[in-house]
Amino acid sequence: MNFSDLRSILQYVPQFRGRTFVVALDGAVIDSPDFSNILLDLAVLRSLNIKVVLVHGAAAQIEALGARRKVTLSNIDGTGVTDEATLEVSMDAITRLSSAVMQSLTTVKLKAATANAIHAHPAGIIKGIDAGFTGTIEKIDSGVLQSFLDQDILPVVPPLGFDADGQTLRVNSDAVAREVATALNATKVIFVSTEDPRQLSTCRQHQWSGDDALAFVDEHPEFASGMASKLRHAARATRDGVPRVHLISSRSEDALLSELFSNEGVGLMVYSDAYQKVRPATRADVDELYLLIHRAVEDEQLIERSRSDIQGAIDDYIVVEIDGNVVGCVAVHPYPESGKAELACLYVKKGHTGQGYGGILVDAALDRGRQLGYGNLFALSTQAAGYLERAGFVRSEDLNLLPEERHEKWSKNGRNAVLLMRRLE
Ligand SMILES: CC(C)(COP(=O)(O)OP(=O)(O)OC[C@H]1O[C@@H](n2cnc3c(N)ncnc32)[C@H](O)[C@@H]1OP(=O)(O)O)[C@@H](O)C(=O)NCCC(=O)NCCS
């Protein structure tokens, strides 16, 4: 690791300090060899003063115990019908698992306590069938969880709820994670399972807004049902005010820390709107833009611009930021006398390419051109002509189409950039 990696990790520490993260582990993760790494990662989070609530599922353990006892289970994940025999197996499996989790937490010197914090009622009749002892979460006792957190105790929340009569009900752990996060105003939920959500995704996109995540699940029925459930709960959590929900695999090394301490992460992420923003640049962006552009100049992708060039034309720039960091830019320079405008300085930081940010910036530049009332946008490019053609730009040999002053500059700088034009409807 070099110092710039360390710097980019440390930038998150002040943002996360004192915040609450809900970590939701599938039961299968707890039985896997990956669990010891997860425990160490949880200890790292606590050492950074991040408050952690651990929610766990138990489907794998319920299935295994049912098989050992030769009980035909009506349901293992707390979403369908839970009959009496299944409830008994579930309670036994969940109680054993919770105490195993508590023991493991003590090995990494974390104080922990199981919390019966879920008020539920029987789910009732769903699609004509009585769901039996499956519960719907009514309310989370956030006071209990908060008092544990305030005493530096990590609450472990099993997927069992209790109704007003003291009856135990089986609840779904994805729903528990979402409800706990909402009740505690958590900054994040992190769902950890043994499957790699990126492998399951047929789409290259790894980050969605809540609405886009729901649309993705609806359009991809092949997406594994466990993951689809997590994405749906993730979308609802972001709608209910949780800024970010992550889905990661326990199998990829350092998954938890890589997901949390890098902009792009290693899993899937659902965000509330505040996470990714395309916005006009301001004077406060000048230094960041200068550094960004400077890197591209070294690779001969963009022409040099000084700080004062950028500052003088700052109103022309648009940036895309992730987590408050600028990761790409584009400029629309108007040439009012010729009735044309130039798309220039399109750049996406290395490590963030291939995620659609370039396309987002081109769209933002086209919108800006339209708002300014221009009928055409032109661009001069040495290395991205093919990219701009894909965005609807057309090559032209006729350099007389350029505004005069831009034509002169083109002749002088000797880069032989290709001219591309795009009509703005
Ligand atoms: C060109 C650039 C802005 C694209 O940004 P991006 O965020 O990676 O783009 P997107 O995610 O929207 O699109 C990625 C697609 O464009 C393709 N692409 C990227 N750069 C390309 C290029 N120079 N020529 C042709 N295609 C390119 C990728 O191969 C990928 O294709 P795929 O969808 O078939 O896999 C970025 O690569 C960059 O900053 N390049 C260096 C600076 C530069 O040349 N700027 C242009 C000045 S006009």
* pLDDT score of 254 more than 90: no
Does residue 333 sit in the same domain as residue 244?
Answer: no
The residue from 244, 274, 304 where one domain ends is 274
Per-residue confidence at 45, pLDDT binned at 50, 70, 90? very high
Per-residue confidence at 56, pLDDT binned at 50, 70, 90? very high
Q: How far is the CA of 246 from the centre of ligand 1 (A)?
A: 26
Cβ–Cβ under 8 Å, residues 169 and 118 = no
Q: How far is the CA of 47 from the centre of ligand 1 (A)?
A: 40
Q: What is the mean pLDDT of residues 234-242?
A: 92
**pLDDT on residue 197:** 83
Q: How far is the CA of 353 from the centre of ligand 1 (A)?
A: 7
Does residue 189 sit in the same domain as residue 336?
Answer: no
Distance CA 215, CA 358 (A): 23
Which ligand 1 atom is at minimum distance from the Cα of 345?
Answer: 47
* pLDDT score of 351 more than 90: no
The reply to whether ligand 1 has any atom less than 6 angstroms from the CB of 346 is yes
Which residue type is seen at 412? K
Encoded tokens for 342: 């130039």
Distance CA 40, CA 17 (A): 18
In this structure, the residue with its CA closest to atom 1 of ligand 1 is 384
The reply to whether ligand 1 has any atom less than 6 angstroms from the CB of 359 is yes
Q: How far is the CA of 387 from the centre of ligand 1 (A)?
A: 6
Does residue 166 sit in the same domain as residue 224?
Answer: yes
Q: Number of folded domains in the chain?
A: 2
Which ligand 1 atom is at minimum distance from the Cα of 347?
Answer: 39
The reply to whether ligand 1 has any atom less than 6 angstroms from the CB of 393 is no
Q: How far is the CA of 356 from the centre of ligand 1 (A)?
A: 9
**pLDDT on residue 275:** 67
**pLDDT on residue 296:** 84
**pLDDT on residue 247:** 94
List the beta bridge partners of residue 381: 418
Which CATH number goes with the domain that contains 372? 3.40.630.30
Distance CA 54, CA 140 (A): 14
Does residue 288 sit in the same domain as residue 396?
Answer: yes
- Pocket of ligand 1, candidates 263, 353, 380, 393: which has the most ligand atoms within 8 Å of its Cβ, to mutate? 353
Query: 205: phi > 0 → left, psi -120 to 50 → alpha, else beta; which?
Result: beta
**pLDDT on residue 267:** 87
Range of the domain at 315: 277-423
What tens digit of pLDDT does each residue of 113-169 get?
Answer: 999 999 999 999 988 889 999 999 999 999 999 999 999 999 999 999 999 999 999
* pLDDT score of 362 more than 70: yes
Does residue 265 sit in the same domain as residue 288?
Answer: no
Which residue type is seen at 271? Y
Does residue 315 sit in the same domain as residue 333?
Answer: yes
The reply to whether ligand 1 has any atom less than 6 angstroms from the CB of 347 is yes
The reply to whether ligand 1 has any atom less than 6 angstroms from the CB of 354 is yes
**pLDDT on residue 202:** 60
Which ligand 1 atom is at minimum distance from the Cα of 385?
Answer: 24
Which residue type is seen at 164? A
**pLDDT on residue 345:** 95
The reply to whether ligand 1 has any atom less than 6 angstroms from the CB of 379 is yes
Does residue 54 sit in the same domain as residue 81?
Answer: yes
pTM: 0.69
What tens digit of pLDDT does each residue of 299-325 get?
Answer: 778 888 999 999 999 999 999 988 778
Mean pLDDT of the chain: 90
